[in-house]
Amino acid sequence: MMVGGDAAPIVDVNLLVHNSVSTVGAAIESVLAQTWPAIRLTLIDNASTDGTFAILQRYADAPGVSLRRNRVDTGGMVNCQRAFWHGDADYVMPKTGDDIIAPDFIERVMDVMLRHADCAMCHAGGLIFTTSGGVSAVYPPAHNLAATDGDPLARARHVMSRYTSAPSFWGIYRRQAIDALSPFAYGAGWDHAVLAELALYGEIRHLPEPLYWRRDGGRPVDVLARASSGFAQRGLGLDDWLADLRWHTPLITTAYGHVERFALARLPPVSRLQLMADAVEIFRARWLPLLRQEAAAFAARLPLLLAACQRSDDIAIQWRARQITDAIAVVTTICPEMDFARARSVLAGQVSEQAGRACVAALSA
């Protein structure tokens, strides 16, 4: 791998690794074998415990390679955020420690980026390969994103309507565009929401050829939702009494994540409000039966949550009541046909009763 070059801009590749001892070597080699002449590779170890770091150290002295190690497991989402913030090259590529890329992936993608000055990100088609090296599936063309409309709001709507699988996230990003993004928020579907906002600041393009090779495919939605929650990312149990409840409704949380993100977008208020409403409409059109299933399951769980809240006191009841109230607000934003009036009334009564007890205790002190 050559570093530098007068004509070729540098691409910052940030390889995100956690306990990938059996796969990370192939992932690194796939970057070192790239035909693009100007690459900076940063290996980011997320507190691995299985011998991964020793493998990374073998590459640390190679030209253009640097090694960073987190002493505490910060979670994959936080590491991806750091990849976007790390370095100063005009182009950045976050990458997983399991998957590999074709030797001409960066060259082909950068050709698109350099020919289209308004392109914020370009990715390539993907395939799934097995541990034994065989190809088990090719992602269909419908998974590729081509948000190239001149209207930024139309590009964001396109991403919300189409984004489906990881290969369309793991591309090369123009730093000018990612610098405009709001920080990542914990929650299921954070990558969906990031790309939808990114489309406001530039085009998203793709190469149809499967140049991104994903190892063994993705994980189930509910597993990803658990892993993306703030408590999981912090290494805390999801059954922790203080935990956020949104991981119970991963698809609803994904849709609502877009609403939250558009509220912070770099747009006039009227455009932000329009996109917030569009997000609800688009995801209901895509997933309505599943959204309603999640909402019903959450409603069935509510009596237990309210009973546990009733048994609390002081700050605990205030905190848990807020968590339940926030979760209800998320569900009803995406599924307004759900009726949680009784649960809201119970919560209000519990909080009022606790506040009264606290007031009496304070006056008696």
Q: Which of 218, 237, 253 is the last residue of a domain?
A: 218
**88 and 161, same domain (yes or no):** yes
**Residues 246-299 pLDDT 10s:** 888 999 999 999 999 999 999 999 999 999 999 999 999 999 999 999 999 999
| Cα–Cα dist 75/83, whole Å | 13
Q: What is the pLDDT of residue 319?
A: 86
* pLDDT of residue 359 exceeding 50: no
User: Which domain does 347 fall in, by range?
Assistant: 222-362
**Residues 211-244 pLDDT 10s:** 999 998 877 888 888 888 888 888 888 888 788 8
The CATH number covering residue 172 comes to 3.90.550.10
**124 and 234, same domain (yes or no):** no
If pLDDT is split at 50, 70 and 90, which confidence band does 93 have? Answer: very high
Count of domains in the chain?
2
**160 and 228, same domain (yes or no):** no
Task: Give φ, ψ of 359 to 5 degrees.
Answer: -65, -45
Q: What is the pLDDT of residue 261?
A: 97
39-46 and 65-70: which strand pairing? parallel
**199 and 241, same domain (yes or no):** no
| Cα–Cα dist 204/351, whole Å | 47
For residue 322, being part of any structural domain is answered with: yes
Q: What is the pLDDT of residue 85?
A: 86
**Nearest in space to 308 (alpha carbons), one of 327, 295, 321, 296:** 321
| Most confidently modeled range among 140-144, 304-308, 341-345 | 140-144
Q: What is the pLDDT of residue 253?
A: 95
> Please, which residues bridge with residue 39 across strands?
11
Q: Residue 328 is which amino acid?
A: I
If pLDDT is split at 50, 70 and 90, which confidence band does 365 have? Answer: low
Q: What is the pLDDT of residue 2?
A: 39
**Residues 43-80 pLDDT 10s:** 999 999 999 999 999 999 999 999 999 998 888 888 88
**160 and 32, same domain (yes or no):** yes
For residue 24, being part of any structural domain is answered with: yes
Angle at the Cα of 298 (from 311 to 303), degrees rounded to 5? 30
**226 and 201, same domain (yes or no):** no
Q: Which of 183, 218, 253 is the last residue of a domain?
A: 218
**209 and 231, same domain (yes or no):** no
* pLDDT of residue 3 exceeding 90: no
**282 and 302, same domain (yes or no):** yes
Q: Which of 155, 187, 218 is the last residue of a domain?
A: 218
**Between residues 362 and 52, which one has the greater pLDDT?**
52
**Between residues 348 and 107, which one has the greater pLDDT?**
107
Residue 279 CA: distances (Å) to CA of 23, 30, 263: 37, 37, 11
* pLDDT of residue 362 exceeding 70: no
